[in-house]
Amino acid sequence: MKNGRVEPMTHATPSPPAQADDLWTVGRLLSWTTDFLKRRGSESPRLDTEVMLAHVLDWQRVRLYTHFEQEVSQSARTAFRELVRRRAEGAPVAYLVGRKEFYSLTFTVSPAVLIPRPESEFVVVEYLEQTRNLPSPRAVDVGTGSGCLAIAAAHHQPAARFVAIDLSEDALTLAKQNAARLGVLDRIDFRHGNTLEPVAGEAPFDAIISNPPYIPTEAIEQLEPGVRDYEPRTALDGGPGGLAVVNRLIEQSAQLLKPGGHLILEIGSDQAEPVRALIGAHERFCLAPTVYDHAHHPRVIRATKIG
């Protein structure tokens, strides 16, 4: 599941940091705000606080720890208080500061794209492992969003060439900006379209990777508010049962992979068996062992095309 980070916290404007008659140092703001967010349900109150304060001050996070006694200006406190207020209402920190770390790279993010999660890094790891002996692999990233999968893979594999596909023009614009900033724009061809349709009829690929929408439509309303109310529904909703997009990718990949090519899919933590069954129904695929994430949840399914 693509988890949120905090329950909505209404009527929770953090008044104390706005007071001008006290000395509000970096250390005091960190302590007060961490406690404030913790009391309102944040799963990572200290990290949230540090990321937002560092953003307002335009510092690296580590600098906060060497400047605990430095007073924070009134203007910075005002900007920080607004971020904390929005965080208390449920807005994800990544959207508030406009960036997210993924595979040791910094990605610009906005509500047009799904926030990159550490769990998705397992897709990149699996891709790099399976293609490391290829001189110049050609791959497709379906539902690229911020571009995190294709960009991280291309960044660590200089000979790779990717086609990155998304239904959202806004997502593609952002992904192109990330690719340009991270120096891989010349090796990624961004295309607008649905699943693998934009590459239909092209020469077969060495790999097809994707973090597709896999949340069942019927479960969307039960998601954490930070996910349900802020992240793009098209990047979440996998149709009734959650596997509509996954099933299409399996069908299309059978035609678009080279013999020995790899289909690498991120899945929900309860989807290993049904996804493996869908792939196993195709004689043209050989399933690899399921990849588990750091929480020991099934996270990535890989299949190799036969013949």
Segment (H or E) for 248: helix 244-256
Name the 3-class secondary structure at 175.
helix
Query: Do the bridges between strand 285-287 and strand 188-192 make them parallel or antiparallel, or are there none, so unpaired?
Result: unpaired
Residue 7 has pLDDT above 50, yes or no: no
Cα 177 to the center of its chain, rounded Å: 16
pLDDT at 1: 41
Instruction: Please calculate the CA angle 77-81-84 and round it to the nearest 5 degrees.
Output: 140
| Residue 17 scores a pLDDT above 90 | no
The pLDDT score that the predictor gives to residue 92 is: 96
25 Cβ partners below 8 Å, 6+ apart?
68, 69, 70, 71, 72
pLDDT tens-digit series, residues 59-89: 999 999 999 999 999 999 999 999 999 999 9
Average pLDDT across the chain, whole number: 92
For residue 176, what is the enclosing H or E element? helix 169-181
The band of 216, judged by pLDDT with boundaries at 50, 70 and 90, is very high
Give pLDDT, residue 302. 98
Residue percentage of the chain with pLDDT more than 70: 93
Are 124 and 12 in contact, with CB atoms under 8 Å apart? no
pLDDT tens per residue, range 223-253: 988 899 999 999 999 999 999 999 999 999 9
CA nearest 257: which of 225, 276, 284, 282? 284
pLDDT in tens, 265-303: 999 999 999 999 999 998 899 999 999 999 999 999 999
Residue 2 has pLDDT above 90, yes or no: no
Domains of the chain: 16-97 (1.10.8.10), 100-305 (3.40.50.150)
- 102-119 as b/e, with b when 16 or more CB fall inside 10 Å? bbebebbbbebbbbbbeb
pLDDT at 188 over 90: yes
In the predicted structure, residue 12 carries a pLDDT above the cut 50: no
φ/ψ bin of 271: left (φ > 0), alpha (ψ from -120 to 50), beta (otherwise)? alpha
238 closest CA partner among 123, 118, 114: 114
> What's residue 164's pLDDT?
98
Which of 38-42, 159-163, 228-232 has the lowest average pLDDT? 38-42
pLDDT at 20 over 60: no
Q: Give residue 296's region: left, alpha or beta (phi > 0; psi -120 to 50).
A: left
Is residue 188 a contact partner of residue 154, using CB atoms and an 8 Å limit?
Answer: yes
